[in-house]
Chain A
Amino acid sequence: MTQAPAPGEHDIVAKPLRHPWRIVWAVVLLVVVGLFVYSLATAPTINHAMVVQYLFSPLILNGALLTVVLTVASMVIATVLATVLAVMKLSENPLLKVIATAYIEFFRGTPLLLQIVFWGYLGMIFPNVIVGIPFTNIVFFNAPTHEVIPMLAAGLLALSLNEAAYAAEIVRAGILSVDAGQSEAAKSLGMSGWYTMRRIVLPQAMRVIIPPMGNETISMLKSTALLHVIAVAELYTVATQISSQNLAQVELLIVAAFWYLVMNTVLGFPQRYLERRYGRGFSRTTGKTRIGRGGLNGGHV
């Protein structure tokens, strides 16, 4: 403190604080992971050639493709339905509120696996889908249920309807996170309730909604494997069908695991794009999102 530094001079040249334990732990972890990989790679019980052989087999690739399609389709359907449910639950209309609440309670309150089987076996409860006027003989449409709702559609339905219940709460949280002053300002300009929701509230809620929805997407990608029980030919079903014939269970599980990891990594990219898109205006310097400029410095200014 003898002399003040000249303005603008970077006069702090300190030795960085040392963290010796970090290095120790890093080494320990590396050794453990290395041993695991080594034991997998050298295990005589695993047929490594077979893993490589099936990794790019058309059957497996088609299964993986269907998994992606199911994931994306059910997330899209679920998000739309969730937004409707969230708005219903927040509305002043008691009927809408009750319907949304009951829906959410029901689909969150029963196991997804059960719901999948239920939709798959719907034909056993209602053998025919009939559209007509009740208690009369007038029928416009009559077809066997399993033709109207094939297993693929049943699976898609089960995943979307279940996910919508969870996503509805995420969307509701997002809507509630927007300051009440925003709606007041919109009202004072003569905007209707629906217009305010669509143009003012939801775009701001997206910032809060997207990260947990990314989480849900990852979860959904893995939940598609449950469609195994109704024989939808997605990745896991295909892998187990192959292994039930050649008895190479572990090899095909490794193949499936590899593709699940790859797909989840790729699905993370759209999330980053969306976060940037809806983060506009929420950071001081550029008007772009904090995430977009992240880099090594951690980003937020």
Chain B
Amino acid sequence: MAATSKTPMVRALAVRKSYGNKEVLKGITLDVQAGEVLCLLGPSGSGKSTFLRCINHLETINGGRIYVGDQLIGYREAGAVLHEMHPKEIAAQRRDIGMVFQRFNLFPHLTALENIIEAPMGVAGMDKQKATDEALFLLKRVGLDEHANHYPSQLSGGQQQRVAIARALAMKPKLMLFDEPTSALDPELVGDVLEVMKDLAKSGMTMIVVTHEIGFARDVADTVVFMDGGVVVEAGAPEEVLDNPQHERTRGFLRSVR
């Protein structure tokens, strides 16, 4: 990868993915530079969430390559031969990639604080005091330092999602993936979560966000990618894709979400 002057944070090359006979990703190629915020838009079933889940190998791909930093995800390439990675190596790769889910997926048997310190302590081997200090700092950053000892069931959806963001950040990832982070929230709770994400973008975090929030994409994204039917239909700066879409499919989608 000597093509560009600096290595992109994420490079997807002709990524293909099938479920049985149904091909859901038909050759996705895109780059995300370090510090860039990329928003993935598209109708449901367009493959955008699937693509996101391929980046941290929650889904395996059937063709193409995904690189995060200088690492090929999920495989070791020896000449022309690909070797499946050991689960331990995959786990190690995932430590650098934070993920936030549509349904939060907080651990219900742990408090907000315990949710955040579990991976730093158990996976990264951090001692409890340091992990707790950092977790409290992160909770403060997402505005929930007073809820440290609450269980997820005692928090609103928006609060849970902010804890989930803090939990992902606790592993100090280079890259954050957001899979429709506000789609399961009551409308009045969406703002707080988007605010946290904007903040994160400002701090220089590399982010890939699957979303239906056009306003967020316009305000925060450096690049907007519109996907449909497993292909990238259109990609570019938000003002190009959102305000002056070149493809009819993009126009139709934007009309329908407004």
Contact = CB atoms under 8 A, between A and B. Distances in A.
Interface of A: 179, 181-182, 184-193, 195, 199-200, 203-204, 278, 280-285, 287
A282 B92 contact: no
A200 B101 CA distance: 17
A281 B111 contact: yes
B97 A187 contact: no
Nearest to A193: B87
Contacts of A281: 108-111, 151-153
22 contacts: A181-B101, A181-B103, A182-B105, A184-B58, A185-B101, A185-B105, A186-B107, A187-B58, A187-B91, A188-B97, A189-B118, A190-B91, A190-B94, A190-B95, A190-B119, A191-B119, A195-B123, A280-B151, A281-B111, A281-B153, A284-B154, A285-B154
B98 A192 contact: no
A182 B104 CA distance: 9
Contacts of B99: 185, 188
Given A281-B153, A284-B154, A287-B150, A191 B168 contact: no
Given A199-B118, A281-B153, A191 B109 contact: no
A221 B98 CA distance: 49
B54 interface: no
Nearest to B88: A192
B206 interface: no
Interface centre among A188, A192, A282 (most CB of B within 10 A): A188
B122 interface: yes
A185 B154 CA distance: 20
Interface of B: 56, 58, 87-88, 91-92, 94-95, 97-99, 101, 103, 105-111, 118-119, 122-124, 150-154, 164, 167-168, 171
B58 A282 contact: no
A189 B111 CA distance: 17
B87 A191 contact: no
B58 A280 contact: no
A283 B154 CA distance: 8
A280 B119 contact: no
Given A189-B167, A190-B171, A184 B150 contact: no
A179 B102 CA distance: 14
A287 B151 contact: yes
- List the 4 closest A-B pairs by CB distance, nearest first: A190-B95, A281-B151, A185-B105, A188-B99
Nearest to B53: A184
A29 B26 CA distance: 72
B58 A204 contact: no
Nearest to B107: A200
Given A181-B101, A203-B109, A282-B109, A187 B153 contact: no
